[in-house]
Amino acid sequence: MNILVVNAGSSSLKFKLIESESEKVLARGLYDGLSDGNTECRREITVGDTPVVDTAPFGTHEESLDDLIESVREFGVAATGHRVVHGGEMFSTTVRVDNAVLTDLKTIGYLAPLHNPINTSCLEMAMARLPGAAHYAVFDTAFHQTMPESAYLYGLPYRLYRERGIRKYGFHGTNHKYVALRAADILRRPITGLRIITCHLGNGQSICAVRGGESIDTTMGFTPLEGLPMGTRSGSFDPEILLLLLKTGYTPDQAGELINRESGLLGLSGISSDYRTIMERAEKGDTAARRTHDIMVHRITGYIGSYMAEMGGVDAVVFTGGIGEHAPGLRRDILAHFGFAGLLLDEERNCSGINLISAQASRIACLVIPANEELQIVREVIAAMEGA
């Protein structure tokens, strides 16, 4: 059975067509530079082993979706799985989408205004264009719905949660779940007996405490802004700072731009939001780049340590995402803090590209696992089908 995975971002659309039994990728693609009013976009499509990169004469999500459906039509599509950023408390698992679910999705669009409306729109368009397929929504937030109240409630009046749904939701859930399950497979141990800390590090960054296969805490919150400093997002800081900015001349839009697009690695370094560029400069002695690296190490170390305490220990620490998978120096500097807990890194393994990078004598396993949200979405769709 061929399942089309659709990941619609605010200005992009990615897809993979995956044969569910073999889990083979039949086709993949990216449309970048999409927005209302655009007349062209960058298109990268690979069918089989043949990549095609060009500029397409259209620039909207709707036109891109039409183009991708035409690109995979020869294979046939039995089902689609759509990444939806925010499911709120309404959706705690993958759901088959019908008109009633579409209506519910539209009512919670305010929770992720840059993403959910586009996710929902692409779902609606796919349903119209592929009427013979089953269509499913897979939520970034669903995996974190197992968090207890003590983890997801803020120190705000309880009525704000009850009346407006203001609480920690967490994101990157699909990949946190995938790498936790994959870690259990690699370690050949049942996930039900494992305590795992998963570190999804990239342009967006979050850490998750996974106990017995369930998320019990995570760093991102009501929005993806909370937690670690990211490519351009600030991460957590004293909210009184935001009030000060608003009182001293910033408009809400300017403040939002500051904390979402001008902060994080870019703002701290003044160099780039790309960690690779920052590390190149740090290795050449750039003070700002080194400061940015040290702040990342400090914040990540702090969250790992707190989750160790929260779970009463840890069996495995997993690194994933563009930075997590490709920055052995960052991993080394973080893990050096946990020798007291019996975590010992094997530096040769750390630089070799293999999954298990901890030393044989280490009491805690440390792994590097490539992200694969699309494959996990396929598995979620299959599980939903079988459950139905």
Q: Which residues of 299-333 are buried (b: 16+ CB within 10 A; e: fewer)?
A: bbbebbeebbebbeebbbbbbbbbbbbbbbebbeb
Give the residue numbers annotated as catalytic, written as ranges.
Answer: 140
Q: Say if CB 37 and CB 54 are below 8 A apart.
A: no
Residue 165 gets the label, from left (phi > 0), alpha (psi -120 to 50) or beta, of left
Closest CA to 122 of 45, 204, 32, 10: 10
Residue 40 gets the label, from left (phi > 0), alpha (psi -120 to 50) or beta, of beta
Give all strands (DSSP E) within the chain, no chain letters. 2-8, 12-19, 24-32, 41-47, 50-56, 79-84, 95-96, 134-139, 195-200, 206-211, 214-218, 316-320, 365-368
Q: State phi, psi for 272 to the nearest 5 degrees.
A: -165, 160
Closest CA to 79 of 30, 131, 125: 131
CA 92 to chain centre: 17
Q: In what order do the strands lie in the sheet with 365-368?
A: 214-218, 206-211, 195-200, 316-320, 365-368
Q: Say if CB 332 and CB 297 are below 8 A apart.
A: no
Neighbours of 290 (CB within 10 A): 17
Give 206-244 as a DSSP string: EEEEEETTEEEEES--SSTTSSS--SS---S--HHHHHH
Q: Which helix (H) or strand (E) holds 267?
A: helix 264-269
Q: Say if CB 227 and CB 205 are below 8 A apart.
A: yes
CA 208 to chain centre: 11
Q: CA-CA distance, 170 to 166, in Å (whole number)?
A: 12
Q: Which residue has the tokens 């160099």?
A: 271
